[in-house]
Amino acid sequence: MSRPLSHILLCLVLWGSFAPASAQSGEAGVSPTFPKVVFVDANARVLLVFDERRQAFEVPAQGFMQGPTGFRQYIDRLAGEIGLAYERYRLGGIFTYVAPQRPEAYLRPYLVVPVAGTAQAVADGYRWFPLDDAIAEIRYPASARILDRIMRQPEHVWSATFEEHGYTDPVDVDRIVFRVVEDFHRID
Tell me: domain 5-19+30-186, CATH 3.90.79.10, correct?
A: yes
Whole-prediction pTM: 0.84
Of 102, 105, 115, the C-alpha closest to 38 is: 115
pLDDT of residue 4: 53
Ordered by start, the domain boundaries in the chain are: 5-19+30-186
pLDDT-flagged residues of the chain (< 50):
1-3, 5-27
pLDDT digits (tens, 9 = 90+) for 45-92: 999 999 999 999 999 999 999 888 899 999 999 999 998 999 999 999
Q: Compute the distance between CA of residue 161 and CA of residue 159 in angstroms, rounded to an integer.
A: 7
Q: What is the pLDDT of residue 29?
A: 65
- Chain centroid offset of residue 9 CA: 15
Angstrom CA distances, 120 to 83, 128, 154, 160, 178, stand at 9, 8, 22, 32, 34
* 73 contacts 57 by C-beta, under 8 angstroms: no
CA distance 59 to 117: 20
Per-residue pLDDT tens digits for 76-86: 999 999 989 99
